[in-house]
Amino acid sequence: MHFALNEDQIAVRDMAREFAAEKIAPHAVRWDEEKHFPVDVMREAASLGIGGVYIRDDVGGSGMTRFDAALIFEALAQGCPTVSAFISIHNMASWMIDAYGNDSQRQKWLPRLCTMELLASYCLTEPGSGSDAAALRTRAVRDGDHYVLNGQKQFISGAGKGDLYVVMVRTGADGPGGISTLVIEGDTPGLSFGANERKMGWNAQPTRAVIFENARVPVANRLGDEGIGFKIAMAGLDGGRINIAACSLGGAQCALDKSLAYMKERKAFGKRLDEFQALQFRLADMATELEAARTFVWRAAAALDRKDADATMLCAMAKRFGTDVGFEVANQALQLHGGYGYLSEYGIEKIVRDLRVHQILEGTNEIMRLIVSRKLIEGAR
């Protein structure tokens, strides 16, 4: 039961929080405006063990838990949700290699992924298949010791700047059973990228299409057997959903903290804003919702660590609830700032823009409801 953090967990959280406050938060607004991808800062974070949080230690990982990761990504997101979210995606893709790769694959890539010398991206979504991920069409045809790939992935974080792409491809028939997972190096001939997307938020990381035109990838780069790629992709997303919910909590906590500071200084009708009971009640509701979401994320992370039978459902619940609450708290914080909340220099509108996409990625919140309802109905039979 995780109703209080132990000394080690507090130390891990505080380490990430201090790094975010010193190295990330002072630059977050500028990085957003300049669309700057702060690879150097992320590599500094990796030197603290954040590049491979739950990667095994024989390849340089930190060997921590999913619960630890939730603490870390929430803390980093208090500096910038976008940077924290990319590091979480890098961790998710790296974990897939750690969990499903053979020893040769693990030794080849993971030591440099854990230091973030190499950056990893997760490639599932396509222009014609988002929520219906099992309908993906990127095809890999076996040709001797290689696969020949043709197709396109869409909305890929880190694309064009990354070194490794963990890609779900179709090697067999239609449906989830025909999908396999390949690790594709960024300099592979036939691999190219679309333009950097112009986005509402998440501007401190690039988002591009990943395009394959007769790209030849060694069969040795396949994770596990043919046909288990959909299982690998979904296993990665269980943890990814906790991570992105944690990023929402961190962004929302930052927005709440900014609101508390602002309301101590701002006056209206002869009183400080924090002296108005209606606004005090709003702050109380924001903090309560945030704490409820945090408790839920912790529970889901602990369930995933234990490999509980209901872990997938709890991860979906926590992702839906955590990202909805995170966005709503940030949006309320903007309202409490009035016109100043709409100005970029206060940093609130950036958090609102960044957190909005968390309700869409790693599976939309509508898909989270679908996962939960299916598990409930199956359990009632």
Which residues, including other chains, have CB under 8 Å from residue 218's CB and lie 6 or more apart?
A: 145, 146, 147
Q: Are 144 and 220 in contact, with CB atoms under 8 Å apart? A: no
Cα separation, 93 vs 210, in Å, equals 16
* 3-class secondary-structure state, position 340: helix
Residue 55 carries which DSSP code?
S
Give 129's DSSP letter. Answer: B
The one-letter amino acid code at 91 reads: N
* Separation of alpha carbons 179 and 258, rounded Å: 46
179 beta partners: 170
Whole-angstrom distance, CA of residue 41 vs CA of residue 205: 13
Q: What's the 3-state SS for 314-342?
A: HHHHHHHHHHHHHHHHHHHHHHHCHHHHH
Quickly tell me which residue has 């974070």 as its tokens.
Answer: 45
Tokens in use for 346?
Answer: 């206060």
Residue whose entry in the numeric block shows the structure tokens 């838990």: 65
Chain centre distance of CA 16: 16
Three-state SS at 209:
strand
**Per annotation, catalytic residue among 18, 213, 362, 366:** 362
- Most distant CA atoms of the chain, gap in Å: 79
State how beta strands 164-170 and 120-123 pair. Answer: parallel
Q: Which residues contact 92 (CB under 8 A, 6 or more apart)?
A: 122, 236, 237, 239, 240, 243
List Cα–Cα distances, 138 to 153, 227, 234, 314, in angstroms: 8, 14, 17, 30
Which tokens hold the place of 301?
């992370």
Count CB-CB contacts under 10 A for residue 172.
Answer: 14
Active site residue 362: yes
CA-atom Rg of the chain in angstroms: 21
Q: Which residues are catalytic?
A: 362
